[in-house]
């Protein structure tokens, strides 16, 4: 079944605590283009017709002036706000909590802006055109009423930062290329010639070619019923904590484990890069310059 009006959801409400500022708005390419500009360029090329930005309310004026103005008369856009007090009835924000509730909550607050199949990504990650092409092709074949989802995966060794530790969802696939599970690994870093992760007080070696999630997902609107249910359960268990987050990959993993959804995983052929730390900025700018020089992107998008 063909669907229409694919949307791209860009999660841009994070505080950028490790980066030390609003990394989503840092220029990385010619003419002050930011990473989101390249994602939107690639998504439009792949057939997406609307962009939904999930941001913090305090960024609204900056976003409207610097970001939305770029896309007037070019693509439909919509702003959605992720605020700490956007909670189900009966729950309150812990007194000392300042951290957003996480990627699962970021997508959940965008529900009213999404009536058809959509892709969701991080604002500060460069995914490359092949990822959007694969996700769009999948979503255009999927009935919006089904629990058929997809994800663009990246090889672990292509997703690391030389400037600090990262967290990645390591995926296990079956022989048909569908997800069997996704396990969140925190504190992944390069040590000598090895990639390691801190697990339960010890160190685990990870294979460089493991497929990992970089939060490039393709969903139907059916995902929202599961997000609402899981977020309620999360709040009951951890809603009083000040730093716990409701992660989107954890919701997907639960659905896969219970065989309530199927997730097709594509092996993206692109090199991922992004801005986790301030020191990552120059590397990202160099890679964008190379892509412009090689004709992959025009100087002005």
- Give the model's confidence band at 21: pLDDT under 50 very low, under 70 low, under 90 confident, else very high: low
Closest C-alpha among 154, 149, 166, 145 to residue 18 = 166
pLDDT in tens, 28-66: 889 889 999 999 999 999 999 999 999 988 888 888 888
- Give the model's confidence band at 23: pLDDT under 50 very low, under 70 low, under 90 confident, else very high: low
Domains defined along the chain, listed by start: 7-293 (3.90.550.10)
Residue 16's Cβ-side half-sphere holds a number of Cα atoms within 13 Å equal to 24
Two tokens, residue 139: 């979503």
Q: Whole-angstrom Cα distance, residue 80 to residue 57? A: 8
pLDDT in tens, 116-169: 999 999 998 999 999 999 999 999 999 999 999 999 999 999 898 888 888 888
Q: What proportion of the chain, given as a percentage, has pLDDT over 70?
A: 95
What pLDDT, on a 0 to 100 scale, did the predictor assign at position 143? 93
Q: Average pLDDT over the chain, rounded to whole? A: 89
What pLDDT, on a 0 to 100 scale, did the predictor assign at position 203? 85
For tokens 């004709």, name the residue: 295
pLDDT in tens, 216-265: 999 999 999 999 999 999 999 999 999 999 999 999 999 999 999 999 99
197: region left, alpha or beta (phi > 0 left; psi from -120 to 50 alpha) = beta
């Amino acid at each position: 079944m063909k669907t229409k009006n694919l949307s791209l959801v860009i999660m841009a409400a994070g505080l950028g605590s490790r980066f030390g500022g609003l990394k989503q708005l840092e220029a990385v390419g010619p003419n002050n283009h930011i990473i989101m500009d390249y994602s939107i360029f690639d998504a439009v090329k792949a057939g997406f017709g609307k962009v939904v930005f999930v941001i913090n309310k305090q960024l609204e004026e900056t976003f409207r002036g610097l970001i939305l103005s770029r896309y007037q008369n070019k693509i439909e856009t919509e702003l959605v706000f992720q605020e700490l007090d956007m909670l189900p009835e009966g729950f309150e924000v812990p007194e000392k909590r300042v951290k957003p509730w996480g990627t699962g909550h970021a997508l959940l607050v965008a529900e009213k802006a999404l009536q058809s199949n959509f892709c969701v990504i991080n604002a500060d990650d460069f995914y490359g055109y092949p990822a959007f092409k694969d996700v769009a092709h999948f979503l255009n074949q999927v009935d919006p009423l089904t629990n058929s989802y997809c994800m663009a995966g990246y090889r672990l060794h292509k997703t690391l930062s030389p400037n600090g530790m990262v967290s990645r969802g390591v995926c296990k696939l079956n022989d048909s290329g569908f997800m069997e599970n996704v396990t969140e690994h925190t504190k992944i870093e390069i040590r000598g010639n090895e990639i390691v992760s801190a697990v339960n007080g010890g160190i685990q070696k990870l294979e460089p070619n493991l497929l990992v999630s970089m939060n490039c997902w393709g969903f139907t609107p059916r995902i929202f019923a599961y997000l609402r249910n899981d977020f309620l359960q999360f709040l009951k268990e951890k809603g009083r904590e000040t730093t716990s987050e409701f992660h989107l990959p954890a919701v997907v993993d639960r659905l896969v484990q219970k065989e309530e959804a199927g997730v097709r995983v594509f092996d993206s052929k692109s090199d991922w890069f992004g801005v986790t730390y301030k020191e990552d900025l120059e590397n990202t700018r160099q890679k964008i310059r190379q892509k412009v020089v090689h004709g992959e992107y025009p100087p002005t998008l």
